[in-house]
């Protein structure tokens, strides 16, 4: 009884494997992200899936466990290329390290569309991305205006090596330096999860009693910042990045002033749409800016903004 | 060589107590020295509000440290405590938010589920003879994967259970003694430590945990059901991970399914700094709590001083090695 069950399972597996090549007739794009568990990537996935349905193509959405696993992502990339897809979407964890692997795809004539962070090469036909420097500069504007353009501020950045971490840190710092001479940045620290960001924010508040505001550069660090502000009851101004329910709630109840949202759904749509256009032979611009918005209590319900916020 | 100390220990516990006490004393001196150092060199460090920050930052790692202390004393290792914490947090979210059950079910459910998963690790070690390092490495991945699957890779929020926040964040004790504003999470950590300490030192489970770690074969020959007690040990560890899961999800008012990797190493470091021997048979809960405090004082102090995160990691590594070196020195002297 048990054996027949196992045998039939195997048989079922074998038939699925045998029928799989039939899909090769269909248009298939593997989309390789930097991760999949973060809400941001889930939103990108949702966008990619809806665009796939619209274009009548098949996609898969994969990514490594954490955003530090460059080698794992390269393995996923190589496996995807081996399937000989009609196009490839790729968000590089390292803008240079993965160029050789991408070269293989390009040599095999597979069109590549980069997304989220760019690749330092002309292999991708286009890059669907948020301008992180400009987006973080908008966060700096929001924070500086809320503190009367004077006083001490600090930043909690989600990591010190990725293109988004560096871009948001520099975008924030450069804008303050350029436009707000009376605002001083007294501390920049790194924390990669919500709990660590909460402890970091509390240490910052402790070390700098005159602190007027803190910027947190992604969803996790913004959640942590909100936790720290609630626990200490501080009256400083907190500004976040991305969305997610915790962060949206913190903005609604006044703990955080506001945040920057990217357009993850738009990024996902852009990748699949661009690949479909490339197959039809259309030319694409080098970079497609998928946009960002500053949002706070006043415009969270604006349909344009609400559409790109995720829970 | 160590066997003589250990058999002596089994007789009167004399050997263990003297090394253990000495090492705890060393850890305690290190803790005081760090507090003194930061009080002088980190402006605004020495304030009551910051001491509360430090205590709160210790709670999760302290509880995970206690969980892993049980396993390490029994001669094993548990690499799954971090992701297990996340999985139990997700479980409590499913019970309270998705199923809408009342708070006690979430608390008991998280702990029982942790205990169950821990027992699975224990069973694969005891019955399938898989080395603890491998079995719990596997469990670390299983728990991480299940946390993502069960939650649909989305955080689960506790907004429908407002009292959930009080598990970790309010201070019940300050209602009785107004000046003592110690958050509940910290009180829970101390409660876990006290209960675990009693279990380790005063119960049959504790005795078997120590004897498994000092000489498993001797324990087996003297009629101890080694397999059973191993499963119980890992089960208890998993249950304590459930407490950590409640603490972290209460503070973040959400079960964050992607969090937890790396927490196991901090927990093991706390136990080792506190004098728990990785070769088993020796260790104390108080030592682990002191170890966890050393780590969070270091982290907080360096942050208040404005030292970069990168250097903080380096310094923590140096402290771990130094702690084990002191351990070796002390054992030679005995």
- In this structure, the answer to whether residues A153 and A253 fall within a common structural domain is yes
User: Which has the minimum average pLDDT: A30-39, A188-197, A219-228?
Assistant: A30-39
Q: Say what the pLDDT of residue A230 is.
A: 93
In a domain, B6, yes or no: no
**Residue B64 clears pLDDT 50, i.e. is over it:** yes
Q: Say what the pLDDT of residue A206 is.
A: 93
Q: Say what the pLDDT of residue A35 is.
A: 84
Query: What residues make up the domain containing B141?
Result: 15-333
Provide the pLDDT confidence category of residue B334 given band limits of 50, 70 and 90.
Answer: low
Q: Which residues share a beta bridge with A165?
A: none
Q: Say what the pLDDT of residue B11 is.
A: 39
In a domain, A100, yes or no: yes
Q: Say what the pLDDT of residue A127 is.
A: 93
- In this structure, the answer to whether residues A144 and A249 fall within a common structural domain is yes
How do residues A205-257 score in pLDDT, each as one tens digit?
999 999 999 999 999 999 999 999 999 999 999 999 999 899 999 999 999 99
In a domain, B9, yes or no: no
In a domain, A311, yes or no: no
**Number of domains observed in the structure of chain B:** 1
Q: Say what the pLDDT of residue B9 is.
A: 39
Contact B251, B142 (CB under 8 A): no
Provide the pLDDT confidence category of residue A20 given band limits of 50, 70 and 90.
Answer: very low
- In this structure, the answer to whether residues A108 and A178 fall within a common structural domain is no
Chain B residues with beta carbon closer than 8 angstroms to that of A208: 44
Chain A residues with beta carbon closer than 8 angstroms to that of B148: 37
Query: What residues make up the domain containing A285?
Result: 19-130+264-291
Q: Say what the pLDDT of residue B326 is.
A: 78
- In this structure, the answer to whether residues A120 and A139 fall within a common structural domain is no
Provide the pLDDT confidence category of residue A177 given band limits of 50, 70 and 90.
Answer: very high
Per DSSP, the residues of A82-115 read HT--S-EEE--SSTTTTHHHHHHHHHTT--EEEE
Q: Say what the pLDDT of residue B6 is.
A: 40
Q: Say what the pLDDT of residue B12 is.
A: 39
Touching check for B56 and chain A: CB below 8 Å? yes
How do residues B200-219 score in pLDDT, each as one tens digit?
999 999 999 999 999 999 99
**Residue B259 clears pLDDT 70, i.e. is over it:** yes
In a domain, B230, yes or no: yes
Under 8 Å CB-to-CB from B261, ≥6 apart: which residues? A65, A66, B82, B83, B140, B144
In a domain, A307, yes or no: no
Exposure string of B227-247, with b = 16+ CB inside 10 Å and e = fewer, is eebbbbbbbbbbbbbbbbbbb
- Prediction pTM value: 0.80
Give the Cα separation of B81 and B265 in Å (integer).
9
For the domain that residue A181 is a member of, what is the CATH number? 3.40.50.2300
How do residues B81-128 score in pLDDT, each as one tens digit?
999 999 999 999 999 999 999 999 999 999 999 999 999 999 999 999
Give the β-pairing of B254-255 and A211-216.
unpaired
- In this structure, the answer to whether residues A190 and A286 fall within a common structural domain is no
Q: Say what the pLDDT of residue A25 is.
A: 55
**Number of domains observed in the structure of chain A:** 2
Longest pairwise C-alpha distance within chain A: 79
- In this structure, the answer to whether residues A258 and A285 fall within a common structural domain is no
Under 8 Å CB-to-CB from B211, ≥6 apart: which residues? B10, B218, B219, B224
In a domain, B7, yes or no: no
Q: What are phi and psi of A41, to 5 degrees?
A: -70, -30
Chain B residues with beta carbon closer than 8 angstroms to that of A243: none
- In this structure, the answer to whether residues A167 and A108 fall within a common structural domain is no
Per DSSP, the residues of A35-58 read -SSSHHHHHHHHHHHHHHHHHT-E
Q: Say what the pLDDT of residue A8 is.
A: 53
In a domain, A47, yes or no: yes
Contact between chains at B155 and A245 (C-beta distance less than 8 A): yes
Nearest chain B residue to A36 by CA distance is B153
Give the Cα separation of B263 and B82 in Å (integer).
5
Query: In terms of DSSP H, where are the helices of chain B?
Result: 2-12, 14-41, 48-73, 81-93, 103-126, 132-151, 173-176, 184-202, 204-214, 216-221, 226-251, 263-273, 285-305, 309-333
- In this structure, the answer to whether residues A168 and A71 fall within a common structural domain is no
Report the Cα–Cα distance between both ends of chain A, in Å, rounded.
47
- In this structure, the answer to whether residues A98 and A74 fall within a common structural domain is yes
Nearest CB among B49, B251, B309 relative to A190 is that of B309
- In this structure, the answer to whether residues A255 and A268 fall within a common structural domain is no
Give the Cα separation of A39 and B202 in Å (integer).
47
**Residue A155 clears pLDDT 90, i.e. is over it:** yes
- In this structure, the answer to whether residues A73 and A158 fall within a common structural domain is no
Provide the pLDDT confidence category of residue B76 given band limits of 50, 70 and 90.
Answer: very high
Please provide the size of chain B in residues. 334
In a domain, A6, yes or no: no
Touching check for B178 and chain A: CB below 8 Å? no
Give the Cα separation of B128 and B141 in Å (integer).
18
For the domain that residue B295 is a member of, what is the CATH number? 1.10.3470
In a domain, B2, yes or no: no
Minimal C-alpha gap between B70 and chain A (Å)? 25
Provide the pLDDT confidence category of residue A4 given band limits of 50, 70 and 90.
Answer: low
- In this structure, the answer to whether residues A113 and A200 fall within a common structural domain is no
Contact between chains at A39 and B155 (C-beta distance less than 8 A): yes
Q: Residue B46 burial (CB < 10 Å; 0-12/13-18/19+)?
A: middle
Query: Quick one: which H or E segment has residue A71?
Result: helix A70-82
**Residue A1 clears pLDDT 60, i.e. is over it:** no
Touching check for B312 and chain A: CB below 8 Å? no
**Residue A272 clears pLDDT 80, i.e. is over it:** yes
Q: Which two tokens stand for residue A32?
A: 């390789």
Query: Quick one: which H or E segment has residue A200?
Result: helix A194-207
Contact B131, B77 (CB under 8 A): no
In a domain, B5, yes or no: no
In a domain, A303, yes or no: no
């Amino acid at each position: 009884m048990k054996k027949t069950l196992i045998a039939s399972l195997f048989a079922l597996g074998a038939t699925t494997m045998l029928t799989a090549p039939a899909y090769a007739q269909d248009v298939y794009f593997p989309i390789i992200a930097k991760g999949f568990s973060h809400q941001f990537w889930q939103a990108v996935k949702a966008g990619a899936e809806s665009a796939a349905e619209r274009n009548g193509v098949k996609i898969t959405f994969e990514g490594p466990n954490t955003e530090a696993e460059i080698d794992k992502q390269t393995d996923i990339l190589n496996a995807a290329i081996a399937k000989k897809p009609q196009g490839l979407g790729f968000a590089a964890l390292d803008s240079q390290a993965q160029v050789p692997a991408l070269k293989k795809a390009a040599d095999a004539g597979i069109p590549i569309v980069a997304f989220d962070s760019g690749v330092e090469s002309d292999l991708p036909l286009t890059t669907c991305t948020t301008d992180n420097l400009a987006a973080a500069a908008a966060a700096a504007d929001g924070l500086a205006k809320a503190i009367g353009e004077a006083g001490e501020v600090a930043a909690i950045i989600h990591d010190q090596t990725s293109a988004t971490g560096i871009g948001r840190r520099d975008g924030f710092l450069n804008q303050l330096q350029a436009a707000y001479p009376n605002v001083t940045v007294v501390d920049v620290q790194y924390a990669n999860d919500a709990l660590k960001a909460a402890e970091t924010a509390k240490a910052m508040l402790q070390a700098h009693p005159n602190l007027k505001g803190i910027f947190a550069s992604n969803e996790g660090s913004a959640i942590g910042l909100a936790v720290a502000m609630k626990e200490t009851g501080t009256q400083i101004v907190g500004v976040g990045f991305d969305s997610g329910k915790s962060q949206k709630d913190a903005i609604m109840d006044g703990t955080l002033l506001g945040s920057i949202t990217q357009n993850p759904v738009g990024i996902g749509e852009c990748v699949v749409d661009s690949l479909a256009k490339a197959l039809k032979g259309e030319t694409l611009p080098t970079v497609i800016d998928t946009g960002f918005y500053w949002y706070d209590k006043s415009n969270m319900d604006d349909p344009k903004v609400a559409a790109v916020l995720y829970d | 060589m160590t066997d003589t100390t250990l058999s002596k220990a089994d007789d009167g516990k004399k050997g263990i107590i003297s090394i253990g006490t000495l090492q705890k004393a060393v850890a305690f001196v290190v803790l005081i020295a760090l507090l003194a150092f930061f009080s002088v060199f980190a402006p605004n460090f020495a304030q009551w509000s910051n001491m509360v920050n430090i205590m709160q930052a210790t709670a999760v790692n302290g509880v995970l440290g206690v969980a892993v202390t049980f396993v390490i004393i029994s001669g094993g290792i548990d690499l799954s405590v971090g992701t297990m914490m996340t999985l139990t947090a997700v479980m409590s979210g499913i019970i309270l938010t998705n199923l809408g059950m009342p708070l006690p079910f979430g608390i008991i459910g998280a702990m029982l589920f942790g205990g169950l998963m821990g027992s699975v690790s224990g069973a694969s070690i005891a019955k399938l003879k898989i080395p603890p390092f491998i079995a719990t490495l596997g469990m670390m991945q299983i728990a991480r994967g299940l946390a993502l699957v069960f939650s649909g890779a989305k955080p689960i929020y506790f907004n429908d259970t407002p009292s959930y926040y009080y598990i970790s964040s309010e201070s019940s004790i300050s209602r009785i003694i107004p000046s003592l504003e110690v958050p509940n999470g910290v009180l829970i950590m101390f409660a876990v430590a006290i209960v675990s300490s009693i279990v380790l030192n005063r119960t049959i489970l504790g005795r078997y945990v120590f004897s498994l770690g000092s000489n498993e074969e001797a324990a087996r020959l003297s009629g101890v059901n080694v397999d059973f007690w191993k499963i119980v040990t890992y089960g208890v560890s998993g249950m304590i991970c459930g407490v950590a899961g409640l603490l972290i999800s209460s503070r973040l008012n959400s079960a964050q399914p992607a969090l937890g990797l790396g927490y196991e190493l901090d927990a093991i470091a706390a136990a080792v700094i506190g004098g728990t021997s990785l070769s088993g048979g020796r260790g104390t809960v108080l030592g682990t709590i002191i170890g966890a405090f050393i780590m969070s004082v270091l982290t907080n102090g360096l942050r208040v001083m404005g030292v970069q995160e990168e250097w903080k990691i380096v310094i923590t590594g140096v402290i771990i090695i130094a702690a084990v070196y002191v351990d070796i020195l002390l054992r030679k002297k005995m």
